[in-house]
Structure 1
Amino acid sequence: MKTIEELRKFFEADRFAAEMGAVITECGEGGATVEMDAGPRHLNAAGTVQGGALFTLADFAFAVAANAGGVLTVSLQNSISFLHAAKPGRLTARAERVSETRRTCCYDVSVTDEAGNLTARMSVTGYRRG
C-alpha cells in the first residue's frame, strides 16, 4: 500500500487533475478521497459546476484509490449520474472499491458539495495493468 505522500508524488504527473485543483486528502485500503475548490473557471453557462469538472474529480478519486496498492490501474468504463447542481465551493469525491480481481476492479464514487449534497455518482470499471 502506497502512502499518501507517495501517491501525491505519483499523481504530480496528472497535469489535468492538478490544473483543475484536485488534491488528494485521504487514502486507505480500498478507498480514497480527493477535494477541489470549484470557482469561476469550473462553472458552466448556468452558473453551476460544469459536468466535466465533476467527472474529472470523480475519475481522479478512482485513480488514486485504484493505484494505491501499487498496481498500475486505468479506467475501462465510467458511468456518471449528475444528481444535484453543484455550486462553487469545496467539492469532495470519495471512491470505494466494490470488487477486485487479478485484472479488473470496480469502484463507486460519490461527489458531495460543501453542504453535504450528493451532486454526482460514478461507477467505474478499471483494468489492472501491472
Structure 2
Amino acid sequence: MDMQWFLDRDRFAQMLGIRIVEARPGYAKTAMDLTDDHRNGAGVAHGGAIFSLADLAFAVASNAHGKLSLAVAASIAYVKAGLGSTLYAEATEISLGNKMATYAVTISNDMDDVIASFQGTVYRKDVPYTRETA
C-alpha cells in the first residue's frame, strides 16, 4: 500500500530522513540512516530519534486503515545501544477496535540487533483519512 502521501505531510519525519519501507493496514516498516545529527553525546543513536522512527511506523500502520488515528499513549524501552548505519522500526497491530487500536513496534539496526521496543495506542476517529481526504 502506498502511504508515501502520509510521510509527505510529516515535515519532522522528513527532516530526520525517515522513509517508509513497507506499509499496509495494521503493519508498517520504516527506516532511518544514522548520521552524526542523529547521535547523542555518547555517540549512539539519540533516544528521541529512535522514538520518532518508531512513532512514524506506528502512525503509518494505524492510519493505513483509512481512518484518522491519533496516538493517545506511547512508551518505549531501550534495550541496546543504537549502533549501526541504519535503524528500522517494524509496527504490528496487536488489537483493532472501532475506537481504539494497539500496536507493538520493534526497533532494530542493520545487524539485526533489537535496540528498542515501543508500544502505542491510538484513538480511531470517525473521519476518513486517505490521500484523497487528507
What is the letter of the counterpart of residue 97 of structure 2?
Answer: T
- Which residue in 1 is equivalent to 2:109? 113
- Which residue in 2 is equivalent to 1:23? 19
Q: Which runs of 4 or more aligned residues in structure 1 lie more than 2 Å from their structure 2 counterparts after TM superposition? A: none
In the alignment, structure 1 residue 58 sits paired with structure 2 residue 54: yes
Q: 1:79 aligns with which of 64, 69, 75?
A: 75
Alignment check: 8 A CA contact 1:39 1:88 kept: no
**Partner SS, residue 55 of structure 1:** helix
| TM-score after normalising by structure 2 | 0.91
**Partner SS, residue 56 of structure 2:** helix
Give the fraction of aligned pairs with identical amino acids, expressed as a percent: 36
**Partner SS, residue 67 of structure 2:** coil
Structure 2 unaligned regions, length at least 5: 128-134
CA positional deviation for 1:9: 1.4
| TM-score after normalising by structure 1 | 0.94
Instruction: Answer with 28-37 or 13-22: which moved more.
Output: 28-37
2: CA distance, partners of 1:126 / 1:106:
6
**Partner SS, residue 111 of structure 2:** coil
| Pairwise CA RMSD | 0.9
More helix by share: 1
- Which residue in 1 is equivalent to 2:10? 14
Alignment: residue pair count: 126
**Partner SS, residue 43 of structure 2:** coil
CA positional deviation for 1:88: 4.3
Say if 1:97 and 1:109 are closer, same or farther in 2 by CA, change over 3 A.
same
In the alignment, structure 1 residue 125 sits paired with structure 2 residue 121: yes
Alignment check: 8 A CA contact 2:58 2:103 kept: yes
